[in-house]
Homo-oligomer: A and B are copies of this chain.
Amino acid sequence: MAAARVEFAQHGFAGTTLRSIAARAGVDPALIHHYFGTKMGLFQAVLALGVDPTRQALPAMLDGPREEAGQRIVRTFLTMYEDPQFREPVLAVMRTAMTSREVAALAASFLQDTMLRGLVTLAVGPDPARQVALAMTHLMGTVLGRHVLGLAALQGEVDALVDELAPVVQRYLDGAHRDVTGPVGS
């Protein structure tokens, strides 16, 4: 576990192999495989995450027309966070990330190498990686406001939030977020 933490922190999730962790720990890779299964299993153990936050979410977000990706991403993301069994361990990692640069780097590399990289094909425009990051951190902020701060203004049905956020996320994916529509009323 200590060896894994160092390797993941130094090389990120994608840049780390079970082999390099095994080498650092002075054990056979098969031993790691035996106890933790996959690299993801070991990573979850290192972050004390009881769930793989992307295994089901990513296909649900990717599978369908690109023009409706905003809708799928927002619904899938917000629905996951309605479940305390999912939400609490993820928020625990976020909390630790706020204290520890090492955990922050791990969480960032995980987010980068799974969710953000996985969704980047849905974005068109000048900087797809940035567009996806803007969209997903927007949704993280929504979760923070709804579930951590419990802001009254962000309670109510998930469906309502999906209706409000999906067009915004879609606009980020389309690279159309800078387009200024005329102000409504004033």
Interface residues of A (CB under 8 A from B): 66-67, 91-92, 94-95, 97-99, 104-105, 107-108, 111-112, 116, 124-125, 127, 129-130, 132-134, 136-142, 144-146, 148-154, 163-165, 167-168, 170-172, 174-181, 183-186
A178 interface neighbour in B112, B137, B145, B167, Cβ under 8 Å: B167
Question: Can you report 6 residue pairs joining A to B where beta carbons are below 8 Å apart?
Answer: A66-B186, A67-B183, A104-B150, A111-B149, A130-B154, A133-B151
- In the complex, the count of this chain's copies comes to 2
A139 CB to nearest B CB, Å = 7
Residues from chain B with a CB closer than 8 A to the CB of A170 are: 180, 183
Which secondary structure characterizes the binding site on chain A?
helix
Are B179 and A181 neighbours in the complex by a CB distance under 8 Å? yes
A169 CB to nearest B CB, Å = 10
Highest count of chain B CB atoms <10 Å: which of A91, A92, A136, A141: A141
